Amino acid sequence: MSTIFVHGLGYIGLPTAAMFANYEHEVTGYDTDEEIIEGLDDGDIHIEEPGLRAFVTQALESGNLTVSNEVGEAKYHIIAVPTPFDDESKEPTLDYVEAAGEAIAPHLRTGDTVILESTVPPGTTVETLQPALEQSGLNAGADFALVHCPETVLPGDIITELKGNDRIIGGVNGVSTEAAVRLYKSFVDGEIYTTENATTAEFVKLIQNTYRDVNIALANELALIGADYDIDSREAIEMANTHPRVDLHQPGPGVGGHCLPIDPWFLGHGSDQLDLIRTARTINDGMAGHIVDILRKELGTLDGKRIALLGVAYKGNVGDTRQSPALDLAHELQEAVAEAPEATADGGIQSDSDGVDVRLHDPHVDDQILHLVDFEAAVNDADAVVITTDHDEFAELVPAELCESMAGDLLVDTKDMLPEREWISEGFSLRRI
Ligand code: SAJ
């Protein structure tokens, strides 16, 4: 049993803290956000994730997990802070990683281990975190262990994957690596793969997500090509995947979340060799524009139309809207209508546009800022309904009910949720990606 401080109680830090606590370690969860700490103190879990509430409650009730708004001493410090990304410059902000290192430094003792789990550009552990920690007067590798151990869990299945997935551990030297291996072995069922190079571990994490992003781009491009030949690309992909060495991904409305659309750019932080990877990003980001084109073509015009987007979360059965393809689509629909103004004689701009009425509905998302509406309000009198997220609820849609509510008959199923023949036979015009 070890004392562990977990810095950052978000999607990764909170389940990780609870996991160690449920495996009998003495864990303190720390976050700079007072509201999160106060909430957890009252047993209030701020993240929607299957099973997480019970899991964290168990850890809190056992007394092995406590939360604090102050950093203190511990044998292990695990850093799981955000690494925000600037959409314009494509550059990450590493301030939170640096701040975590600076906050740990006064409490660091000889023999302690510091582990960075946050996803970061290659070189961050050594170039950003190490100098911050060494403000303590101690040296990484010699006096304290320093390690990158990337998280690899899939939102929606975090608790199972945290335990079952293989882990990559890269210390700045062998002693560092071994210190982290001892700790993770206490709960990880998967294999633990080690490297004595923290930058390699950072690189591995990024290329896993880049692999997925590039492959989704291939699937999206195949869907666009398939449409030109008037074939069902999903059927073609399924058949192609019967080959023992082919494993194509699925097309969709774009790629969301805080990982796949961002990590490829982290790879480019210290390298300008991104060609295929950059093109893949462009293809995936272009899917919203492709759906706008489908809607415009099928509806004649977008002006004055009512369009319901079902699913605002970036993927099925989660409540996370970060980099959500549906929000991009909503934005592009508004832009597409706003872009059609005419120049007036005095050089001004006039638009007769009625705008487009985009209604957002998501049963898993609770967000006041997004102005979500309930299902009935979303589909009522709608000219078109677009399924943008594969939530289980949307597979249960009933043609007769939707037919009664909608004004039009256009359905765009970007996630392959609806049985095509059935909906067409019920009089719907169904377009898929
Ligand atoms: N998507 C497709 N087609 C597919 C698969 C996914 O369009 O065939 C879309 C999804 O709809 C979603 C996006 O991609 O919008 C990302 O979803 P995801 O399920 O592929 O991945 P994330 O972002 O939820 O989690 C990923 C995972 N990485 C890999 O599978 C290599 C997870 O294991 C990582 O821990 C996580 O990133 C992370 O934190 O980095």
List, for residues 357-389, the tens digit of each pLDDT value: 999 999 999 878 889 999 999 999 999 999 999
Give the mutation target among 260, 310, 417, 432 for probing the ligand 1 site: most ligand atoms within 8 A of CB.
Answer: 260
Q: Quick: pLDDT tens for 277-325.
A: 999 999 999 999 999 999 999 999 999 999 999 999 999 998 899 999 9
Band (pLDDT 50/70/90 cuts) for residue 47 is confident
Q: Is the CB of 208 under 6 A from ligand 1?
A: yes
Please report the pLDDT score of residue 76 as a whole number.
Answer: 98
User: Is the minimum distance from the CB of 259 to ligand 1 under 6 angstroms?
Assistant: yes
* Residues with Cβ within 8 Å of residue 188, at least 6 apart in sequence: 163, 165, 167
CA pair distance 195, 193, nearest whole angstrom: 7
Ligand 1 contact, 394 CB (< 6 A): no
pLDDT over threshold 50, residue 349: no
Contacts of 174 (CB under 8 A, 6+ apart): 196
Q: Does residue 255's CB lie within 6 angstroms of at least one atom of ligand 1?
A: yes
What span, in angstroms and rounded, lies between the C-alpha atoms of 98 and 130? 9
> Residue 196 pLDDT more than 70?
yes
Where, residue-wise, is CATH 1.10.1040.10 in the chain? 197-285
Residue 149 annotated to the active site? no
What is the pLDDT averaged over residues 405-421? 96
Q: Ligand 1 center to residue 159 CA distance, Å?
A: 16
Mean pLDDT for 214-221 is: 98
Under CATH, what is the fold of the domain 197-285? N-(1-d-carboxylethyl)-l-norvaline Dehydrogenase; domain 2 (1.10.1040)
Catalytic annotation, pick one of 90, 149, 163, 259 = 259
Q: What is the DSSP-derived secondary structure letter of residue 239?
A: H
pLDDT at 345: 56
- Please answer whether residues 216 and 250 qualify as being in contact, where contact means their C-beta atoms are separated by less than 8 angstroms: yes
Q: What does the longest C-alpha to C-alpha distance in the chain come to?
A: 78
CA distance 180 to 65: 20
Percent of the chain predicted with pLDDT > 70: 97
Q: Whose CA is nearest to atom 28 of ligand 1?
A: 209
DSSP string spanning 51-93?
Answer: THHHHHHHHHHHTSEEEESS----SEEEE-----B-TTT--B-
Indicate if ligand 1 lies below 6 Å from the C-beta of 387.
no
Mean pLDDT along residues 138-167: 96
CA of 258 to the centre of ligand 1 (A): 9
Contact by Cβ (8 Å): 356, 333: yes
284 CA: nearest ligand 1 atom: 7
Tell me the C-alpha to C-alpha distance, in Å, between residue 30 and each of 86, 163, 231, 308.
25, 22, 53, 40
Question: In whole angstroms, what separates CA 251 from the centre of its chain?
Answer: 17
Average pLDDT over residues 392-407: 96
Structure confidence at residue 350 as a pLDDT band (50, 70, 90):
low
Q: What fold is seen in the domain 287-433?
A: Rossmann fold (3.40.50)
Does 344 have pLDDT greater than 60?
Answer: no
Question: Can you point out the beta strands (E) in 272-327?
Answer: 306-310
- Return the closest-CA partner of residue 52 out of 320, 370, 393: 320
Q: What is the mean pLDDT of the chain?
A: 95
CA distance linking residue 134 with residue 144, whole number of Å: 9
With a 6 Å cutoff on the Cβ, whether 250 touches ligand 1 is yes
Catalytic residue among 149, 205, 315, 415: 205
Q: State residue 352's pLDDT score.
A: 62
The answer to whether residues 249 and 315 touch, using CB atoms and an 8 Å cutoff, is: no
pLDDT band at 97 (very low <50, low <70, confident <90, very high): very high
CA of 163 to the centre of ligand 1 (A): 18
- Is the pLDDT score of 208 beyond 50? yes
Which is it for the CA torsion 243, 245, 250, 254, positive or negative?
A: negative
Closest by Cα among 80, 6, 21 to 56 = 21
Residue nearest to atom 35 of ligand 1 (CA): 152
Provide CATH 3.40.50.720 ranges for the chain.
Answer: 3-196, 287-433
Tell me whether residue 205 is one of the annotated catalytic residues. Answer: yes
Amino acid 156: pLDDT: 87
Contact status, residue 411 vs residue 431, Cβ threshold 8 Å: yes
Identify the CATH class of 3-196.
alpha beta
Query: Which run of H or of E encompasses 4?
Result: strand 3-7
